Structure 1
């Protein structure tokens, strides 16, 4: 039976990360049957404005397609930091994300946000799990996100892994914007998103977790891509999917290339000279 964890306000993510640093993850092979939830959430217009400015969205009454992830992320951390959660929180890598928007949400909406964990399964480099976030208004779910996290460990070479389509099937590949992600990018986005995972904050904190430098938040890189494509995308009945391929080491210079098809876009975020593929982003509607 699923147990509800109802929160009156946003959890303290810095405290969660500090506590989670001592937790290695359980040995069990099942997920806790819990759902973390907040009701009547109001979006902070100042935070939304900072997010829009940082990522390149137009600030207005509508929430940008990826923004509700920021509302669900603290609840994801509540679920993943539990003692009975089978994977460690610190060091977990965001490898894939899928968002479906049935109808756009706005600043005026009173939102209900709920998160649960699903599909604990093997991965060639360890184990992975889906954190499902649903955001609704007026009793109706309008936005659904599935965040897939990988905890490195004993690998399973035969495990199935989701793979994006190659860029070449779509015609007219266009080179889009080029961006510079500075050394402070992780700290900047952490201040907006609340995601203070040490791998994003400073090289000295990232190295013990296997990264030679701090790395950019996957949701920041992805949001930059979605913002660049936003004029070509519908506001509702759209699915946006991203596969995070290689971490973006900070600092880095990146470029976006996109192919356009009927009711579909397919993009690659790569190093400025094309030497590294960092993310593949697909939109369908």
Structure 2
């Protein structure tokens, strides 16, 4: 039977990351059957404006498509930091994300959020798990998200990969925006998202976890892509999916190339020379 845990406030992410250093996960083959929830969440407009500024979304009366992820993220971390969770939180890499925007969500609407883990499975570089989030308003589900996290470990060469769609059609696309991401990009995003994972904050805290420099948050890169495409995307009925391919080391310059079709966009975020593919984003409606 699912254990339901209802929280009155958001978990303290700094405390979760601090205590995560003492916990390395366990060898379990299943995820705990637990669901974390919060009800009637009222958003802080100043926080939303700060997030929109960092990610380049316009400020309006509705939430950017990635913002509900921020509301659900502390609950994701509460699930992953539990004693019975099979994967260690520190060093976990966000490898894929899927978002469904059922309808526009008003800034002033009270949100009910639920998060749970499912589908622990092998990955060619370790093990991965899905964190599922649902956001509702007065009993109506208005947004869904699935975040896939990888914990590196024993390799499984025969694990079935989740591959993005082919980007061959982008070969003829040469124009697109370029962004310079400074060394402090991770700290700027952490300040508005609460995600202070050490791999994003500074090279000194990223190196012990296997990264030569700090790397950009995947959800920051993803948000920048969706913000850039914003005028071409519908306000409702949107399914958006991102595959994080290679981490964006900080600092660096990236470029975005996109192919547009009726009811679909396909984008690739890559390094300035087009030699390293950082993320592939597909939007359909």
Shorter-chain TM-score range: over 0.9
Runs of 4+ in 1 over 6 A off after TM superposition: none
Match of 1:95 in 2: 95
Structure 1's unaligned 5+ residue stretches are none
Q: Deviations over 1:53-90 (max 9, x none)?
A: 11111101100011100000000000000010000000
The within-5 A match list for 1:49-198 is 49-169=49-169, 173=173, 175-198=175-198
Residues 59 and 161 of structure 1: is their aligned pair in 2 closer, same or farther, counting only changes over 3 Å?
same
Contact 1:80 1:87 in 2 (8 A): yes
> Are residues 184 and 69 of structure 1, via their aligned partners in 2, closer, same or farther at CA, if it must alter by over 3 Å?
same
CA distance in structure 1 between the aligned counterparts of 2:209 and 2:72, rounded to whole angstroms: 25
Q: Which residue of 2 aligns with 1:9?
A: 9
Question: How far apart are the structure 2 equivalents of 1:154 and 1:171?
Answer: 36
CA distance, structure 2, for counterparts of residue 258 and residue 174 of structure 1: 9
Q: Residue 242 of structure 1 contacts residue 282 of structure 1 at CA under 8 Å; is this kept in 2?
A: yes
Q: Where in structure 2 are there 5+ consecutive unaligned residues?
A: none
What is the Cα deviation at residue 161 of structure 1?
1.2
CA distance in 2, matches of 1:169, 1:271: 18
State yes or no: 1:25 paired with 2:49.
no
TM-score under structure 2 length normalisation? 0.98
1:227-266 matched pairs, under 5 angstroms: 227-266=227-266
- Which secondary structure does the structure 1 equivalent of 2:46 belong to? helix
Question: Cα offset for 1:170?
Answer: 6.6
CA RMSD, Structure 1 to Structure 2 (Å): 1.0
The offset of 1:168, in angstroms, is: 2.3
The farther-off stretch of 131-140 and 174-183 is 174-183
Deviations 1:35-54 (A, max 9, x none): 01110001111111011111
CA distance in 1, matches of 2:42, 2:276: 39
Inter-CA distance 180–78: structure 2 relative to 1 (3 Å threshold) = same
Instruction: Give the paired residue count.
Output: 285
Once the two structures are superposed, what CA deviation does each residue of 1:104-152 show, in whole Å capped at 9, x if it has no partner? 1011100001100010000000000000000010111110000000000
Q: Distance in 1 between matches of 2:172 and 2:183?
A: 33
